[in-house]
Amino acid sequence: MMPGISHSFRKSLYAFLLGSFMSGMCAAQADYDSLDLTRRIDLMVKSEAPIDQVYITGSIEELGFWNPSTTRMNRLNDSTFQYVLQSAPTEAFEYKFTLGTWEQEALDKRGMKYPNFRFSTDVLSVTDSVFGWSSTLPDSPSFVGGVTGEVVYHKDLMAPGLLPRDVLIWLPAGYHEDSERRYPVLYMHDGQNLFDPATSYTGVDWQIDESLTAWIAEGIIEPMIVVGIHNTPERSMEYIDEKGSEMYQDFVIHGIKALVDSLYQTSNAAAQTFTGGSSAGATLAFMLAWQHPDVFGGALCFSPAFNDPDSINPTFNYLDDIRLTPSAPTARFYLYNGGVGLEDRLQAGIDAAVDLLEQKGMTPQQDFILHRDKDAEHNEAAWSQDFGFGLMWLLRKDC
């Protein structure tokens, strides 16, 4: 515990970026008796190798809402950078260090990108040890890329108010053999994590291309098209912020889907059109199907956040939207959640959503289903393992 300061106190958060041969923790305290502040947080990062500039980004407005190039840290010397958070929030927040882009993140000792660091108000200081930058560590792991099947890349698709993004179209084997055939389509968010470990956030992809290829060849499911929509540094704003989400949903429906329907052999029927995602992407998928059942007949929702379990964004609560909807839509919903870490904290919101679905007259197992793996964590590997179960439930014709 940091000892009290006579007139005011200052909470300090220190993040030391160490080289691969350094480890450990240290804490620091400064005397701010002359400052009329009741709360003030210093965020510091130290790099063994000289670096010109470091950025900090996070889940609060002052840290740019996950924009990796908004908040520059003050350069103290060649290896030490500091940012003074002037408006410390009363609730927990999450953050990361970058060199200005998501391709240049802080790495752990294995050369892997860290999950979000978390600052909680029940502690007075936190020390984070990181071991390099993804753009500068010469021996950082490279993942062998490769996609099974045919993927068409549409680069830098744009919409008003949104950042440009790539969209990938995965086509099943035999697609070009019958020009009259129409295929069901699954629109997935966080599209860079679906097919290729070389583009996935953690180097682990969902293996949707391999899985679908095998299931289609074995006759388990009918051939289908998958659309992977890349995220951007403004992911949180686009997925769950009210205004941002409205713009993104409009882009998905009137921009991306319209393009896909015009260029590919898609079935335009809602009963053959689905959406899916994980975490905030799962929340967004639920929103799309809940609000636009005439477009999307179902949603795959892996670890959705119906409210903010950590009070990082306490104004977000989609449970209220569900509650205020006069009647349930015709869309069907597959809900999945794990049980470790963040998964456990998400469960209360998911349970509340399930209760609301039943109150709206939706029938469990038929209109929606909740599958929970209490040993699973909040990551691509867990969602990949459950993807097939969810997809096959969603595609059932006897419900």
Summarize pLDDT for 244-278 with one digit per residue, the tens: 899 999 999 999 999 999 999 999 999 999 999 99
Same fold, 9-138 and 150-394: no
In terms of Cβ atoms closer than 10 Å to its own Cβ (0-12, 13-18, 19+), residue 321 is: middle
Q: Look at residue 217 in the predicted model and tell me its pLDDT.
A: 93
CATH class of 9-138: mainly beta
Angle at 286 between CA 283 and CA 287, to 5 degrees: 85
Q: Look at residue 265 in the predicted model and tell me its pLDDT.
A: 97
Q: Look at residue 286 in the predicted model and tell me its pLDDT.
A: 98
Partners of 165 in the beta sheet?
Answer: 157
- Whether 43 and 57 have beta carbons less than 8 Å apart is answered as no
- Whether 229 and 167 have beta carbons less than 8 Å apart is answered as yes
Q: Look at residue 104 in the predicted model and tell me its pLDDT.
A: 82
pLDDT digit string (tens) for 205-217?
898 999 999 999 9
Residue 374: how many other CB atoms lie within 10 Å: 11
CA distance 285 to 33: 50
DSSP annotation of 298: E
Partners of 278 in the beta sheet?
Answer: 302
Return the axis-axis angle of helices 280-291 and 242-250, rounded to nearest 10°: 70
Q: Look at residue 38 in the predicted model and tell me its pLDDT.
A: 39
CATH class of 150-394: alpha beta
Domains of the chain by residue range: 9-138, 150-394
CA distance 254 to 157: 12
DSSP notation for 320-337: HHHHH-SS--S-EEEEEE
Cα-Cα-Cα-Cα dihedral sign, residues 60, 64, 67, 68: negative
CA distance 398 to 290: 21
| Low-confidence residues in the chain, pLDDT < 70 | 1-50, 88-89, 108-112, 121-131, 135-146, 202, 310-313, 397-399
Q: What residue type is assigned to position 242 of the chain? A: E
Using only C-alpha atoms, the chain has a radius of gyration, in whole angstroms, of 23
